[in-house]
Amino acid sequence: MDVNIPEVVAEIRALFDCYEQALIDKDVEVLDATFWQSPHTIRYAIHENGYGFDEIHAHRVRRPPGPGIKLGQRRLVITTLGWDFATVNLEFDMRGRDMPGRQSQTWVRFPEIGWKVVSAHVSVTEASPAY
């Protein structure tokens, strides 16, 4: 299995960047299009947990627009396995807090619908980890 095929990494990076901008803009259409519309999709967030696409969508609609919790990116790691599976892991600075946040996404390319997030997670830590 090929790891980090440049074309696949570029596809995922573009989709991730689009998703991040949609969070800022509260573009629910783009946010919904990013996630697999399935009862099996999960998104754990700081203030809610979404089990299934319908719950995730409901949280999106209620969420206020704006820059949200993220201030800046510390470290972004994209790993692709073959042509149809990828993970994105981001460490970011929390807005208004001296603590880092973490975000992870699992992406799958479906033959009929393209790339979709099937699982996602956002959390914060108490203090900055030592490297």
Weakest mean pLDDT among 9-13, 36-40, 65-69: 65-69
Position 1 in a domain: no
Q: How many domains does the chain have?
A: 1
Position 130 in a domain: no
3-state secondary structure labels for all residues of the chain: CCECCHHHHHHHHHHHHHHHHHHHHCCHHHHHHHECCCCCCEEECCCCEEECHHHHHHHHHHCCCCCCCEEEEEEEEEEEECCCEEEEEEEEEECCCCCEEEEEEEEEEECCCEEEEEEEEEEECCCCCCC
Position 87 in a domain: yes
Pairing of the two strands 114-124 and 85-94: unpaired
The pTM of the full predicted model, rounded to 2 decimals, is 0.89
Position 81 in a domain: yes
pLDDT digits (tens, 9 = 90+) for 42-63: 999 888 899 999 999 999 898 8
Position 89 in a domain: yes
Pairing of the two strands 114-124 and 42-44: parallel
Position 100 in a domain: yes
Judged against a pLDDT cut of 90, whether residue 94 lies above it is answered with: no
CATH classification at residue 78? 3.10.450.50
Q: Residue 18 has which token pair?
A: 């689009």
AA identity, residue 35: F
Position 131 in a domain: no
Range of the domain at 13: 6-124
